[in-house]
Amino acid sequence: MEILVAKHSGFCEGVERAYQIALKEIDSGYPVYMLGNLVHNTQVVNKFKDMGVKTVKDLSEIEPGTQGILLISAHGVSPEVYQKAEKLGLQIVDTTCPWVKKAQKVAKELSDAGRLVVIIGDTGHPEVTGLRGWAGGKTLVFGDPEELKGFECPGQEKIGILAQTTKSQDNFNRMVEMIKEKCRDVEVHNTICGATAKRQAAAVELAKKVELMLVVGDKMSANTKRLTELCSAAGTETHQIQTVKELDLKWLANKKKVGVTAGASTPEWVIEEVITLLRAR
């Protein structure tokens, strides 16, 4: 059995940056709080917890005047979170991905220009929640073309479109055209990150060459889910697994070529465990 690994997979630059910043702060000796999940990977989050990092879902869980460091996740947060953290007296360490920072800036500029901000993204995703905050809350969110079928442009409203950084390019392009058909004044900003585009292209290219694709990544990871959808759409048997424990050896039966890719928040050690087992077979 031949095992092929996608050219671009695993930690992207933004996640690697957030990971390294977190490790540095943990070693500082100060109490470290993590708001939500620093990255969407259970193994990474659990590693930080084992190292003493305290996870909070909301800043209300932290007492005012508490001494410590607050890690802002790679997905970013709304401006209100920074304000609340400062009032609590926490030292803010921002690991927001530079691509997400760019999208936040675009959201604010579009809103300040009087445009209704339309985000092509997943409602409830931390990144999208943050983008809505930077746009002042005046936003519409659509995840796929199906959700746009009943959309009508609100009056003569000027529209500004941007994307959650992990959306697929084809999906974004299609939805932009659908909105343009219904609205006259539309300003478009493609804020899909370069790493996402490369990973998706590499995964699809590999999927077309193999009989089985294994996508390694957390179920809560949007970009991993996207890779799974794209590989499956290429017509290849595809399975998403979080760790090597979820690898069903029955999938390998009679397979001569197996491809492996991984989400942008999947650590190298998790990917290597999968590859090691495949090689042992």
What pLDDT is recorded for position 133? 97
Mean pLDDT (whole number) for 89-97 = 94
* Phi and psi torsions of 33, nearest 5°: -110, 140
User: Of the listed 127, 211, 237, 272, which one is catalytic?
Assistant: 127
Quote the pTM value.
0.87
**CATH number assigned to the domain covering 2-10+194-280:** 3.40.1010.20
**CATH number assigned to the domain covering 13-97:** 3.40.50.11270
Q: Where are the domains of the chain?
A: 2-10+194-280, 13-97, 99-188
119-166 residue pLDDT tens: 999 999 999 999 999 999 789 999 999 999 888 888 778 999 999 999
3-class DSSP string for 21-50: HHHHHHCCCCCEEEECCCCCCHHHHHHHHH
Integer distance in angstroms from the first to the last C-alpha of the chain? 8
* Active-site annotation holds for 272: no
* Phi and psi torsions of 187, nearest 5°: -110, 125
What pLDDT is recorded for position 243? 96
265-278 residue pLDDT tens: 999 999 999 999 99
29-86 residue pLDDT tens: 889 999 988 888 999 999 999 999 999 999 999 988 888 999 999 999 999 999 999 9
Percentage above 90 pLDDT, the chain: 82
Q: In the CATH scheme, what architecture does the domain 99-188 have?
A: 3-Layer(aba) Sandwich (3.40)
What pLDDT is recorded for position 192? 94
What pLDDT is recorded for position 138? 84
Same fold, 2-10+194-280 and 99-188: yes
